[in-house]
Structure 1
Amino acid sequence: MRWFIILFLLGSIKPLLSQKKLLFTDKSYEEEIRTVQLYPALNTAQDKLKPAVAPINNQNLVLEFDDLIAQRSNYYVRIVHCNYDWTKSSLQDLEFLNDYNEYAITDYDMSINTSVPYIHYYFDVPAVKIPGNYLLVAYRENNQNDILLSKRFMIYTNEVSLSLDGQNQGLGTLRVNNQQLNFKLNYAKVDVVNPMESINIWVRQNQRWDNAQGTIKPSFIREDRRELEYRFFDQSNQFMAGNEFRFVDFRSLNAPGQNTGRLDRIQRPFHLSVLTDRSREGQAYAQYRDMNGNYVIDNRDNRDPSLSGDYVYVTFTLASPPLAGHVHLMGALTDWDHTAASRMNYNSSLRAYEKTLFLKQGWYDYQYWVEGANQNSFQVEGSHFETENLYEVFIYYRPFRPQADLLVGYYQLPANSR
């Protein structure tokens, strides 16, 4: 009862709090806004695992999230157009939208027979006029400063074609723990005067922005063919390949699945302990399927997991001596965050790092990331060129008009696909 009273009081005082600063990234700005997902609705079982990217002629993105203040509020969405580097562009709303830039979230349902009540909200993202980067911002009532969440999404055309380098299908392995993308771009369909300045590229790994590369310039320009070559020999375009993700399965609270430990049913909400993890550094590569750091909401005990899935306190434990940098729990479950929200605490009596998250029933991928000057994120996990990863290449062109970075090419490049 005390827990619900606290949530109610938090909800009632929010309008009195100071204004929140909008960050141009994926973020929840209130503790009660949970399990935020933005995905293309393609009517497949894998929809919610797919990146929030859609072609301009088939814009079908859907936003879903839970509000643990189980009392319906008036929520709205606005859309912000961004430059290729995720700063706000100078475009006016009517240059990229067909309607007034304020959209009410009207679709919602109450949770069903859960120990933690919540409201589940749905929102169909309105279509935009031009390809590019966008930030979806949800807020309370008519106060755009009372922000609930922000999510990035991208709309593209494929006017620039991409072809892989013939060697190793475009993925070089100059080091045993790295992966490198080699490819060519053909811009014959785009009127480009100075491709070195007007074309920009982002490459990201497994839908994460924290290690994405956005300063890549071509190694060769072949103006007679209208081609740009991205083939590097100095390791400047390499990604640490990493390792397959760890996972925990608590889709059922009656018969918890793999890598789950003790489930405390006495306390409400329930408390679940994940089996203790240990460092994989120096171990041989082990192949198994993962979700590249993502998660799936599911409830094996009841139907409609979006509404029947319960929230559980889940404790992750990494047995380890103290490490030089802060250790973070990484994956979509923490929005790939490197802040206090994902930072683990060291328990000297257990000689282990611990972190407890409040998660909805499902299957979650995760890894441990060590903070430091060299961003040695694989000090605990290890890194192997054999690891399966999904790379995305975003190609932006900035014409004279409109003065905006247009996403004129989007391609997915799997590494070690199985």
Structure 2
Amino acid sequence: MSSSIQRRQLLAASAASVTLPVFAQSAPAWSAIEAKAKGQTVYFNAWGGSETINAYIQWAAGEAQKRFGVTVQHVKIADAPDMIKRVRNEKAAGKTNGSVDLVWINGENFLTMKREGLLFGPFAESLPSYAKVDVQGKPTTRLDFAEPTDGLEAPWGMAQLTFMIDSKRTPKPPQNLAELQAFAKANPGRVTYPRPPNFHGTTFLKQVLMDVNANRDALYKPVTPDAFAKATAPLWAALDQLHPHLWRGGKQFPNNAEAIRQMLADGEVALALTFNPNDAANEIAAKRLPASVTSYQFSSGTIGNTHFVAIPVNATAKEGAQVFANFLLSAEAQARKADITVWGDPTVLAMDKLSATERAAFAAKPLPGQVEKPAPAIPEPHGSWVDALEKEWTKRYAG
């Protein structure tokens, strides 16, 4: 049995073996939280680099105001570690009415906040809307980069590494790492990836790391020097083989995935990457990519995870933050978020837990650019591997 299959079974078993919570708080307890939340202002710190996502958050904030009397202010951030530093400093100063009430995080940022005691909770699995989360079919709703969430963050959406190509120019895209290396060699300068520590660039590193390690057990445990050296030796060998054939000979790398997507639109490169399987469809609908662009994932699977919202330990509006997090998890808000014309972010909910009316809100015809044959999602390695990967990549290739 392959390590990837074993890992998926382990995650599923882990999700199933954890004693399921009493999902919803008692009606009086939740009513008390809603009552206290009314009139509160929630400062929601979330990435502000997408007009589409910003518009969705604005809609959700408007609904929270109308329905619950909770004001939500979107604090647009570019870098989560800056927010973590602010929470850390406020906690160290004994400030109990912090400036951050809700954060959009996952991965190494969650790991940092959890380890340093910077998170309020557990709260997530007591939210009424949590009852419909797909904890069985999507075990990463409880495991964030192999770290148990322990109710300290509420799942918000799903993501998976996805590649984009123009089918008119590239009718047979590479379906695995070996084919990607051969494709890059046959098409010099037409492949690249973002420069780590950019999120998408680091994700590409993790994808290659998974592909070159048949036994991935060590990758799901906290990193150690010995484990890192053993697991990454084939990674660096694969990149050394790939880089000479990349855009600008692998001596320079684009800053982000958005830049590569524009390069794809301009015909400068043949391959772009994203962490949203619906990204290309969004771009085609906005006429920023031609309708001939298609999306796909490596047939054996690509890196996938869940992204979350969490409440800092010293949040001022803890009740308001819980009410807003609960609304973000509702079938209505999740269906709107999944709508390709709104955001196109895959849901964390289980369709078999929804009513027929709720399921109908998710039904939509496939649009140009969407992934036609989704591949298995490979769970992220433990969050502690990220910093080590980025530092070693920088040491080897950033010069």
Report TM bin, short chain.
under 0.3
More strand by share: 1
More helix by share: 2
Q: Which of 1 and 2 has greater Rg? A: 1
